[in-house]
Structure formats: structure tokens, C-alpha cells
Amino acid sequence: MPGVVPTLNNGNQVATVRPKSVRQTIPAIAVAAFAAFGGLLFGYDTGTISGVIASNTFIQDFGYPNPEKGGEVELGTSRTSLFVSILSAGTFFGALLGAPIADFLGRRWGLQVAMAIFCLGVALQTAAGMHDDGLFVAGRVIAGLGVGVISTIVPMYQSETAPRWIRGAVVSGYQWAITIGLLLAAIVNNSTNSRPDTGAYRIPIALQIDSQSSCQSVSSFCLNLLVGSSVVESMTVQQRHWPS
């Protein structure tokens, strides 16, 4: 194979083919690595809700007076559990649908559909007003559906795109992206929790749309880079065999 150097292993291990130059592997690694940022959505959403339900503005808008505590407004245990855990219901069904969607639409278009579903869920959460529990819960479920599809397709897409010799490290980047999302959620929550208006909880929620759009744009750029580099490489190989 032109441009690669085979590395033979002893025993029954499969031979590993390593690239001859870094230029040949950077585009493929970049596509697989930036696809891992689908985990950013999962981590950010998981980290955001913990700060949102602790926001005083959110408690005033979605809570109810508790007579046992002198009329103090609070969310209550059942409502808090519902807002936090209902995302998992969506991720459960999304993970089941991820493989059929990827097989029917393909890996890239499957990710696009999952992101569209996720954006719809985030939009519903952002639009939910005072005591609009139903709309907020519906948004959580739909967003979870998108996250579940992404959590299935992203590792599949990475394993098929990344070069074999670095595939394990690239696929594990999905978990790394989840921790980055948790970190960003903590930063955003800390920056907005003192706001006196609904921006205290709507800004952290709405920022999920911007984060997924950025990841989608970067992944598309890297994909174009991969395709372009592959075309240039194939043309270079053909020119070497053309008669002068």
C-alpha cells in the first residue's frame, strides 16, 4: 500500500499498518476526535440541570408554596426528581433507535437527525414559562432522545473513521468529551445563577444549541478536510504512475 509502513507483530497478533507521514492521518483522526464532542451535549445537559433546579429564579417559577414550611416556595422532591431523571427516559429509547437510524440514514445523517431532535428538546425547555411543567418535561424527554441516538452513533462513527492503530484512544475521547461538558456546565451555572431574571436558568439551557452547532460545524470542516486530502493523495499516487 503506498504511503504506509507495515509493522509486523510476533505470534498470532494482527499486523498493524502505521502511516508513513502525519499528514496522511491527521484528517481521519480529526473527524473521529471531533465526533466525540457529541458527548459534550450529554455532559453539559447532565451538569446544567443540577444548577438549574438550584436556581432561585427557577424555584420561584416552577415551585409551589409549602404550608409545612410557612409557605416557603420549593420544587419538592417529586418535581425535582422528575426534572432531573426524565432525561434518562429519552436516552433509553434514543439508544435503542440509534442503530436502526444509523443503518437507514447513515452515520453522518443519523447524527444530523439526532442533533435536530436535541435542538427541539432544548428549545422546548427554554420556552417553558412559569409552572409550565409539562412543556419543560417534554423538552427534557425529547432532548434525551437526541442524546441517546448520539451516544449510539458517535462511537460507531468513530470506530469506522479512525485509523486502526489509534482507534481505541479516539473512541475513548467520547467519555473525555462528557467530562468537558460537565466542566462547562459548572462554569455557566456559576456565571448565571445570580441573575434576577429567567436568564438564570434559560441561558444555561439555551447554550446547548450553540454548543452542538459549533461541534457540528467543526466536524463538517474536518470531514471536508478528510475528503479533500484523500482526493489529493489519490491524484498524487496516480501521477506517479502516469507516463512522462
Sign, CA dihedral 85-89-91-92, equals positive
How many Å apart are CA 205 and CA 58, to the nearest integer? 12
**Per-residue pLDDT at 239:** 42
Task: Assess contact for 90 and 68: CB atoms under 8 A.
Answer: no
Predicted structure pTM score = 0.73
How many Å apart are CA 58 and CA 193, to the nearest integer? 10
**Per-residue pLDDT at 141:** 93
Residue 110 located in a structural domain: yes
Range scoring the smallest mean pLDDT among 14-18, 79-83, 158-162: 14-18
Query: Is the confidence at residue 90, as pLDDT, over 60?
Result: yes
How many Å apart are CA 221 and CA 228, to the nearest integer? 10
List pLDDT tens digits, range 127-181: 888 888 889 999 999 999 998 998 888 888 877 877 777 777 777 788 888 888 8
- Phi, psi (degrees; rounded to nearest 5) at 73: -80, 130
Residue 77 located in a structural domain: yes
Residue 19 banded pLDDT, cuts 50, 70, 90: low
How many Å apart are CA 48 and CA 204, to the nearest integer? 7
Domain count, the chain: 1
List pLDDT tens digits, range 91-112: 999 999 988 998 898 888 888 8
Residues whose CB is less than 8 angstroms from the CB of residue 108 and which lie 6 or more positions away in sequence, other chains included: 157, 223
**Per-residue pLDDT at 156:** 84
Residue 160 located in a structural domain: yes
List pLDDT tens digits, range 177-235: 888 889 989 999 888 888 888 888 888 888 887 655 555 544 544 444 444 444 334 43
Averaged pLDDT, 64-68: 80
How many Å apart are CA 99 and CA 94, to the nearest integer? 9
Neighbours of 180 (CB within 10 A): 16
Residue 51 banded pLDDT, cuts 50, 70, 90: confident
The CATH number given to whatever domain includes residue 127 is: 1.20.1250.20
**Per-residue pLDDT at 13:** 53
**Per-residue pLDDT at 151:** 86
**Per-residue pLDDT at 138:** 93
Residue 243 located in a structural domain: no
Task: Assess contact for 100 and 114: CB atoms under 8 A.
Answer: no
Neighbours of 113 (CB within 10 A): 19
- Its domain, for residue 105, covers 36-225
**Per-residue pLDDT at 240:** 43
Averaged pLDDT, 67-84: 83
Residue 25 located in a structural domain: no
Residue 94 located in a structural domain: yes
Residue 24 located in a structural domain: no
CA-to-CA separations, 205 to 72, 102, 154, 200, 211, in angstroms, rounded = 26, 27, 22, 9, 11
**Per-residue pLDDT at 230:** 43
Residue 66 located in a structural domain: yes
